[in-house]
Structure formats: C-alpha cells, structure tokens
Chain A
C-alpha cells in the first residue's frame, strides 16, 4: 500500500505508475533521476490516481511526515536521497536509455514550458499518454488556474475513450511479472490519471460536472468494466468538450487574442 505514496504514483514522475514503467524514474520537480521509484518519495507528492482535492488530507499528512527533508527521501528508512541529474550519455552507456524519461528530462531545457506541453501528445500509446496527463496536471497545479490549461484538458478528453496500447516492456516488473490481470489493470492506471486531471480542471474552473466527473458516468465506473465505460465515455467526450468550450467562451478566454 505504501507504493501509493511513492514516486511511482506521483504526477512529477510522469513516465511511471504503480503498474506502468520499468527501472528508474525521472522527477520533473527535483530534476532528478529516481533510482528506486517505489521506495522514494518527498513532501511534494501529488497522487496520480486521485484528484488532489479528494485525498488532500492524506497528502498533507504525508507532506508533514517528510517536511524535514529538503528533497527526496526513502519512503521506508526515512533517509535523504541525493539528487541524481539525468545524463543521456550515462543512460546509453548503461544501456538504460528510456525515451519517455528522456523526453521528460528535456522539460527544464524548454522555455517557456508550455511549449513542451504543446508538443506532447497522448493518443493510444499508454505510457506516453500517462506522461502527458501527468505533465498537464503538474502544469495546471503550478499555474493554479484553468485559463492556461483548458486546451490541454480538451486534448486529454478527446483521448479518454481510446483503449491504450502497452508494450511488454512498459509494465513494471520489479515484483516479477504483473500477470494478465496486471496488464489489463494498467488501463485503469492511465484512465484515473486522466480523469483526475479533468476533475482537477473542474476544481480550478468551478465546473461542478467535471469536478465530480466520477459521478457523471452513470455507474459505469463502479463495475470497472472498460468496455461498458468506453461506451459511456464516447457520449461524455462531446458533453464535456462543450462544457469546457462554453465556459471558456463565457469567461472570454477561449482562444483570446493577447
């Protein structure tokens, strides 16, 4: 259960989740390689699997538990972990090059950072979609507003009903093979990362229907039946798209000319 509070489940480490992503991670917040993502954490943990507002109490407690560390720390031993800057050369030499982590490591080299986000796409590639949704949520959280994020969230909504594709090398194998159940369950790691982002957008924009999007899927989510939910989502995609565009238009922000 403690992995839920590890870097694996944090939006700052976009390329991994509890079931997705092998080996080392990369944290945008600390601009550092995460050597053991399941056993690393920090006070800035922002869970992927829930919108912040739903688990804020637990996150505050976690932050308070790790408040004495300036950066990353070991989740179990509570010892500090030194920052490890990403090196593409080192990754190639160790034959550990990971295109998703590599892409995320370029975040701090891009200025302004929204250009980085504009060039990211989700689509059916499950792991890249996980990274995109995580970085969008991170950006929205940093900005603390919906205005700069509505186009990114519109993009995420269009992909929500797509069945993602994962490659065998995408699955977390630190506890052995994830098994058939784990392979199927990985869809939900991505889905909840995206849905939580939509809910967080609902929080920033004040759009109640998005804030409690979990309640708007007519129970399809409760049975965790992907095919049933997929049908419901194909209807919701248009409804939620319209909600966001109408709201942004009313607020005078929809493709506003600077």
Chain B
C-alpha cells in the first residue's frame, strides 16, 4: 500500500514527522491553527497516526462534492484488517 501511495505521487508523512509538524504548528502558526494543532497532536499520539499528503487534481470539483469524491478515490489505498 505504501508503494502504491508513493507511485501515484502522494506523500506519506510518518508518525514522528507528523508529531513534529503539529508541534511546530502549535508553537508558531496562526491562533486558530495553534489551537487546532494542540488537540490534533493529542489525537495523533493516541492513535499513532500517520498522514498521507494527497496529490490529486480536484480542479473543477465543487467544494460540497469533495468529501464524496475523496471517499471514492482513496479507497484503493486502504485495506481493512
């Protein structure tokens, strides 16, 4: 799955890197981003989260349709265990 993500041009952000970035955001971003990053850091730690920086072209897609579109298009990168 990891290779498929990379081959399709998306970027996997590992857990440690994600925590580091969230910590940086919590220290130095805008007020609301700082507030969000503190809580996101907590959730990410609890669930050992990683992140995928998706590189899709969503030009022409209406904002309200993005969630459904994303759901359909990222399925192939996940496997239920």
Contacts and interface: CB of A to CB of B under 8 A. Distances in A.
A248 interface: no
A61 interface: yes
Interface in B21-42: 23, 26-27, 31-32, 34-36, 38-39, 41-42
Contacts of A4: 43
A61 B63 CA distance: 10
A50 B46 contact: no
Interface residues of B, number: 17
B67 interface: yes
B42 A219 contact: no
B64 interface: yes
A257 interface: no
Contacts of A50: 35-36, 39
A18 to B, nearest CB: 9
B46 A224 contact: no
Interface of B: 23, 26-27, 31-32, 34-36, 38-39, 41-43, 45-46, 64, 67
- Main secondary structure on A side of the interface with B: helix
A64 B64 contact: yes
23 contacts: A1-B43, A4-B43, A49-B39, A51-B35, A53-B32, A54-B36, A55-B36, A64-B64, A65-B67, A185-B46, A188-B42, A199-B35, A212-B35, A214-B38, A215-B31, A215-B34, A219-B27, A222-B26, A222-B38, A222-B41, A224-B38, A224-B41, A224-B45
Contacts of B26: 222
Interface in A57-93: 61, 64-65
A185 B26 CA distance: 19
